Amino acid sequence: MSSTELDRQLAQLFAPRSGDERVPSSLKARLYSALIHEQQQTGPLASLDASVEAGHGICVFEKLVQIAPVGERAKTLFFCQVCHARVVAEHSDNPLIFWAHCPYVKFKAS
């Protein structure tokens, strides 16, 4: 599946819904984590450099890894796996996460 197609499907899946039909943000966060883990089974994720070049924002922790003198393989890991923001988002429907470009912020209930 192409990156563009995956982005389109994720946007459709996580898009705000109209009416009374709301998906809890904690469920969205858990689903996002599961999808990333599934994607890792097929090979490495896109590197942080490639993500930035494609116009995607990266969080402050990913930025530190991106500018660090490490190999490209280290830049393809799922850094959210070790971030407390992921844990909070997966267990709360209104997590207190405000970091720019954190994917879990997008799932918060409005």
Whole-angstrom distance, CA of residue 110 vs CA of residue 62: 26
Q: How many helices (H) and strands (E) does the chain have?
A: 5, 0
pTM value is 0.75
Whole-angstrom distance, CA of residue 86 vs CA of residue 30: 9
* Tens digits of residue pLDDT in 45-103: 999 999 999 999 999 899 999 999 999 899 999 999 999 889 999 998 887 878 888 88
